[in-house]
Structure 1
Amino acid sequence: MKSKIRKNSVFIANFIVLFLILVTYLSIQINEIEFYRQMAYDEAIKDAELTARDINDSLNGFVIEQRVVSQMMSNDMFLKEWCHSETGETAGQNVYSLYSYLREYKNIYGYDVVFFISDSTKNYYYDGGFNKTLDENDDFDSWYFNFLTLHQPYDMQVDHDEVNDNQVSLFVNCLVQDKGFQTLGVVGVGNNMNSFQRQVAEYEKEYGVEISVVNIGNAHNSFKGSTGYYKTAEQVAEQFGVSEEELCQNVGDEGLSLTKDNRCISIQHNNELNWNIIVQKDITNRINSIMDRVIKRFGIVALFIVVYMAFSVTLMRKLNRLNRKAENTDDLTGLLNNKIFSENFERERKKKNHKQMTVSLFMLDVDDFKIFNDTYGHLYGNTVLKIVADGLKETVENTGVVARWGGDEFIGVYFGSPEETLEKLNSLLEEIKGIETNKTITCSCGIAQVDLSENLEKNMGRADKALYTSKENGKGQCTIYEKK
């Protein structure tokens, strides 16, 4: 019982140690994961915000000149006076002066197109001449009429440039009014977006982000698609996994930052264009890298725990075997003690494979052992017991089991018939008699065939009777129990 308690105590102590190690390690790892995850989110949001602001500044630089030039033209007295003298003709000295005026601005600033639309005739004039007369029912011309309904001095939008092979360009449209604030027409410039697209691509590559731009408030036109980074709210919502309402909300000058799963999204508003710039940074790879490091470390800790457990279990088993051996072994003779012999006997006799075996039980004691102790001392008596014990071990070897029952008494099981056992033990008694000692050592022994249906006490009773028969017949001999 003490051994079992000790064994359980060692196991529980090891379990507690490992549990504390594991809990401590997991706590550290959870805190580390959260720390690095938050740091990754903070860095990603910062990168997204900086990128969005840089793009916003680039857009401002891209369009401010176009807006300033368009506004300068809208306030130019030449254009207003020309509107009052317009004849509606598309050729002739009067209109050629307009073409020349528009062409001059194109050459100075290098725009793709410089145009003017007369509100009275709806004629579309540009630096290359007359384009067409706008039709309110033509979807392609809807931008003009929608712009007028905005009642704003200028508007910027992305649309097809029909005088330049329908390339997608950024247009700045400015209202031209006379002194009485009557609308005379719309003047503007258009420039393709290739340089802006290239700059955005460089930002994507440099910062490892995704970028899109959405129009949230300019005049509607016929252009419903996307061009590179300029997309519809529906397309961007699907791309980034956010709602159109989130994309198109007014985020003010400070902008708005969102987190979706492992993605950080920054929305910045460009007041010049009335566009929202959406920048997304995906930190999935960063998070996976953190988790990979954690998993590797966990693997090392798990391996340590497995090795520690294996070592502990092996050590505990070895210690248990040593403890069990120490607890169940007689200190003087090295034989089993009566406790473990009794337990083994009861366990073994109940096994089915022993039912057909012939097994003998013997009991043996040293004749007149008290004389050895009284005459020569207890140490000498112990030597006598050791001689007898060693002889029994050699005699039985692998064909039986022997134990010290107590005092000078020994008990054993021999896997053979009583006659075979008798022959073995008689040979041992003669051998012991021949050992030179202060007094000749003789032993008496009783042998009985084991009845496996009966317990040890009853089997011992028969062997004990045979032992006393040996004593009564003169000692120094073995006797087989015979039922009377």
Structure 2
Amino acid sequence: MKFKQRMLVVVSLLIIVGFMLTASVSFYLSRQAALNSLVEHEMPLTSDNIYAEVQRDLIKPRTVSSFMGNDTFLEDWILGGERDSAAVTRYLNEIKQKYGAFTAFMVSDLTRNYYYAGGVLKQVSEKDSRDDWYFHLRQLPGDSELNLDPDLANGDELTIFINFKIRTSDGTFLGATGLGLNLASITQIFSDYRARYGNNVYLVTPTGNLLLQGRAGAEPQSLYQKVGVKSVVEQVLSQPEGRFSYVKDGKTYLLNTRHIEELDLILCVEAEEGQVDEALFPPLFITLFVSFVVTGVVLALLLKAINHYQQELESVAWQDPLTGLLNRRAFTERYERIKSGHLRSGKPLSLLMIDVDHFKTINDRGGHSLGDQVLQHIADLLDDNQRPTDCLGRWGGEEFILLLPDTGLEQAAQIAERIRAKLEEHQLVFQLCQQEVTLSIGVAEQQGLFDLDAHVLAADMALYKAKQDGRNCVRLEE
């Protein structure tokens, strides 16, 4: 692999690795920030909002239950001997319909009858554990209590009961009344938050039973059966609020809990840690795409710059800086290439050594600046009179060298003579120097065996002969 290609590969890798590292670090930091926001803000906020929603939904039923507990109708009806049960049944049914309650009830402490909108449901008894709520309320110093129990009147559906004491003006306990709210009434609240935040929301009883799960049928009925959560169940059930994490099916889940004292339930907000990645992956892919585009643009510009400077370096390395012709090194390489073709074809190869006559006189009279201009004009003349296949160079000083492929000695001599005559007729050089400028040219041919040193030596000897014969002439090798 060439040096330029290796450099492009190295630079490409450095740029790509740099972008990858930058994108990875940015993704990691963004992910950590998103996770912190999820744990510290979003999940607690969801929990607070749901808690506030539940509290709000309980305000109206509490007000109605308070009204029922202080309603003189129920007090008078109980003290009157509970003679017309249809009256209290109608009363409870109207309350239920008017306020949209799941159930409305009243229990008389005198008869222990449990009334609801459909009539007498049962008699409460201290021996029946399902009636513990009543006797617990009876002993409370306050007027009301909220509890979660199955509703016998509605197929044992789990219901939030808001219980209120019925007492006389002197504080005598007469019974209990209130409303029941179906626990499923807050299902819509949970569904809205699941849809809005993508988090699973559910309630847990103090014993670990799961209520209002977001994935009905797919989730176990107890927190103890929930895969991954087993390790933190005791902490979840014992702490008023907390933040936990667990692993399930190779995925990490975050759990935020809060105890709802009024219902004696634990509100759980659950989120998969990987959900933050879904929002971060599109920017990451865009960043990587942009990085590859930028890398391509940078490499294209770099390649263009390298080619440009390479051409400049090559021109410095291969060109004569004054005339723009090939320098000796470049001419030598070109000779070797042309020689290879002639070795196969066996055709002749001729060489012209061209020297400017009396060049020292030109330099002495006009200075090196004038000498440089003369050499440039002669180089242009030689370049204009060479064939496309020929190879022209500056051999050094005032000497030029012209290689003529597929050319015999006689044809080469004709070319040399034409060049000599052209300069002799060149008025611009004459006007520049105010004297005649001529060329002496030596011509040599090789065929079969090609050697640049021997070829140059033969042409030099012919040139020397031209100098001896009075200059401004062409001489052939002997």
Using the size of structure 2 for normalisation, the TM-score is 0.65
* Corresponding residue of 2:259: 269
1:250 to 237, 240, 250: 237
Q: Which residue of structure 2 aligns with residue 217 of structure 1? A: 206
* Inter-partner Cα distance in structure 2 for 1:388 and 1:219: 104
**In 2, are the aligned partners of 1:170 and 1:193 still within 8 Å (CA)?**
yes
5+ residue gaps in structure 2?
108-112, 138-144, 164-175
Asked whether the equivalents of residues 361 and 449 of structure 1 are also in contact (C-alpha less than 8 Å), the reply is: yes
Q: Indicate which of 442, 449, 456 corresponds to 2:452.
A: 456
Residue 405 of structure 1 deviates from its aligned partner by 0.7
Aligned to 1:401: 391
Structure 1 residue runs without a partner (length 5+): 83-93, 118-122, 135-143, 175-185
Change (3 A) 1:454 1:215: same
Separation in structure 2 between the aligned mates of residue 374 and residue 203 of structure 1, nearest angstrom? 97
Q: Secondary structure at the match of 1:345?
A: helix
Q: Is the 8 A contact 1:226 1:232 kept in 2?
A: no
Show the counterpart of 2:167: none
Task: Provide closer, same or farther for how the CA distance between residues 61 and 431 of structure 1 changes in structure 2, counting only shifts above 3 A.
Answer: closer
Change (3 A) 1:236 1:468: farther
Following superposition, the deviation at residue 317 of structure 1 comes to 2.1
**1:424 maps to 2:415:** yes
Indicate the SS of the match to 1:316: helix
**What is the letter of the counterpart of residue 443 of structure 2?**
G
1:358, 1:209 → 2: CA distance?
A: 86
Which residue matches 1:47? 42
- CA deviation profile, 1:196-223 (whole Å, cap 9, x unmatched): 2234345456x53444323333598xxx
CA distance in structure 1 between the aligned counterparts of 2:207 and 2:58, rounded to whole angstroms? 14
Q: Measure the CA separation in 2 of the matches of 1:124 and 1:295.
A: 66
> Cα distance, 1:325 vs. partner?
1.7
> Any idea what SS the aligned residue of 2:381 has?
helix
Which residue number in structure 1 is paired with residue 140 of structure 2?
none
Q: 2:402 — aligned with what?
A: 412
1:288-317 per-position Cα deviation (integer Å, ceiling 9, x unaligned): 455534554555555445434423432332
| Amino acid in the other structure paired with 1:427 | R
Q: Deviations over 1:168-227 (max 9, x none)?
A: 4415599xxxxxxxxxxx99974334532234345456x53444323333598xxx9967
The amino acid across from 2:335 in the alignment is F
Q: Which residue of 1 aligns with 2:306?
A: 316
Distance across 1 between alignment mates of 2:371 and 2:202:
105
Distance 1:417 1:103, change over 3 A: same
Cα separation, partners in 2 of 1:28 and 1:199, compared to 1, 3 Å: closer
Q: CA RMSD in A?
A: 5.6
The CA distance in 1 between the partners of 2:315 and 2:267, in whole Å, is: 81
| Structure 1 residues 245 and 327: CA distance shift in structure 2, 3 A | closer
Count of residue pairs the alignment pairs up: 426
C-alpha distance in 2 between matches for 1:457 and 1:349 = 13
Asked if the contact 2:352–2:443 (Cα under 8 Å) also holds between the matched residues in 1, the reply is yes
Does the CA-based 8 Å contact 2:65-2:177 persist in structure 1? no
Separation (CA, whole Å) in 1 of partners of 2:208 and 2:284? 53
The 8 Å contact of residues 365 and 410 in structure 1, kept in 2 or not, is answered as: yes
CA distance in 2, matches of 1:303, 1:268: 49
Distance 1:228 1:35 in 2: 29
The CA distance in 2 between the partners of 1:267 and 1:169, in whole Å, is 21
Residue 220 (structure 2) aligned to one of 234, 241, 244? 234
**SS at 2:257's partner residue?**
strand
- Cα distance in 2, alignment partners of residues 465 and 300 from structure 1: 67
CA contact (8 A) 2:229 2:246 kept: no
How far residue 402 of structure 1 moved from its aligned partner, in angstroms, is 0.8
How far does residue 232 in structure 1 lie from its aligned partner after superposition?
9.1
Quickly say closer, same or farther: Cα 1:291–1:409, change in 2 above 3 A: same
Q: Among residues 432, 437, 442, which one is paired with 2:439 in the alignment?
A: 442
- What is the CA–CA distance in structure 2 between the aligned matches of 1:244 and 1:315, rounded to whole Å? 64
- Distance (Å, rounded) in 2 between the aligned partners of 1:466 and 1:233: 106
Note closer, same or farther for the CA distance 1:391–1:288 as it changes in structure 2 (3 Å cut): same
Mapped to 1, the partners of 2:403 and 2:471 lie a distance apart of: 21
Question: Share of identical aligned residues, percent?
Answer: 19
Post-superposition Cα deviations, 1:14-51, rounded to whole Å, max 9, x if no partner, equal: 959x9699859965983586157515641564232133
Paired residue secondary structure (2:315): helix
User: Which residue of 2 is the match for residue 346 of structure 1?
Assistant: 336
Q: Is the 8 A contact 1:447 1:480 kept in 2?
A: yes
Match of 1:250, as an amino acid? L
Deviation at 1:443, TM superposition (A): 1.0
